[in-house]
């Protein structure tokens, strides 16, 4: 996994070559990722489904994150990223099931960890009156937390310090620290395509 090759880009999104995943994060090189946010609508309320990252994850263990996401290898394009949904959640979907909302940069820099992603963001609208049969296929995901959109907005902005979800007190500190601009893009996309 650490030696997989990823396409690398400059800050303008121009392809510059390939590098290993380790090198990408050590040097802070821009690379492509696939992000898919699952949404459900229940009694007129929109819920975002967050994965709880496994305690075995190297980065951001036990934190809430995108429903399904992952790196695009150097021999893949955006449509190949849909495999992440099956790998992480055990659910088979096609690109036709998803809504593409666009590409957005996201940087997470903590000490010597530098993650610069060109994120291809998708939404999956779960059909009403159905519940996904999540089956965690690998050691990446340990649970799913369903959070109402306005509650997440307030938690992220820290207008609401914490909320009790699935008998766990959740605050902004429980989420992977994405850039505010990335989260704003996601929230605006949800409001545009899901409401």
Q: What is the CATH number of the domain that holds 71?
A: 3.90.79.10
User: pLDDT value at position 194?
Assistant: 78
Instruction: Please give the sequence-ordered ranges of beta strands (E in DSSP) within the chain, or none if there are none.
Output: 5-9, 15-20, 30-42, 45-53, 64-65, 68-71, 99-110, 113-125, 141-148, 163-165, 168-170
More confident: 113 or 147: 147
Q: Closest Cα partner for 186 from 111, 114, 72, 102?
A: 102
Range of the domain at 114: 5-194
Q: What percent of the chain has pLDDT over 70?
A: 97
Helix axes 149-157, 180-194, angle to 10 degrees: 160
Cα 134 from Cα 92, distance rounded (Å) = 10
Average pLDDT value for residue range 121-140 = 90
Query: What are the φ/ψ torsions at residue 171 (nearest 5 degrees)?
Result: -135, 180
Q: How many domains does the chain have?
A: 1
User: pLDDT value at position 1?
Assistant: 55
Phi-psi region of 129 (alpha: psi -120 to 50; beta: other; left: phi over 0): left
Which pair of tokens denotes residue 110?
């903590």
pLDDT tens digit sequence for 64-116: 999 999 999 999 999 999 999 999 999 999 999 999 999 999 999 988 888 99
Reported as a pLDDT band with limits 50, 70 and 90, residue 191 is very high
Cα 122 from Cα 185, distance rounded (Å) = 11
Is the model's pLDDT at 13 over the cut of 90? no
pLDDT tens digit sequence for 34-55: 999 999 999 999 999 999 999 9
Is the model's pLDDT at 12 over the cut of 90? no
Task: Please say whether the beta carbons of 146 and 134 come within 8 A.
Answer: no
User: pLDDT value at position 58?
Assistant: 85
Q: Is residue 83 within a helix (H) or strand (E), and if so which, with residue range?
A: helix 83-89
Is the model's pLDDT at 138 over the cut of 90? no
Reported as a pLDDT band with limits 50, 70 and 90, residue 2 is low
């Amino acid at each position: 996994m650490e030696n997989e090759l990823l396409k690398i880009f400059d800050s303008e999104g121009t392809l510059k070559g390939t590098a290993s995943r380790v090198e990408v994060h050590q040097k802070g090189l821009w690379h492509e990722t696939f992000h898919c946010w699952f949404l459900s609508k229940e009694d007129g309320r929109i819920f975002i489904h967050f994965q709880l990252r496994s305690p075995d994850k190297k980065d951001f263990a036990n934190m809430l994150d995108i429903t399904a996401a992952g790196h695009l290898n150097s021999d893949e394009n955006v449509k190949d990223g849909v495999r992440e949904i099956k790998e992480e959640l055990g659910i088979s979907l096609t690109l036709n099931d998803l809504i593409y909302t666009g590409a957005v940069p996201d940087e997470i820099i903590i000490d010597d960890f530098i993650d610069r992603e060109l994120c291809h963001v998708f939404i999956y609208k779960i059909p009403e009156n159905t519940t996904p049969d999540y089956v965690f296929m690998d050691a990446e995901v340990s649970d799913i937390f369903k959070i109402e959109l306005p509650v997440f907005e307030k938690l992220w902005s820290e207008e609401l310090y914490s909320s009790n979800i699935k008998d766990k007190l959740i605050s902004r500190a429980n989420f992977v620290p994405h850039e505010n601009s990335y989260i704003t893009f996601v929230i605006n996309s949800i409001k545009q395509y899901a409401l």
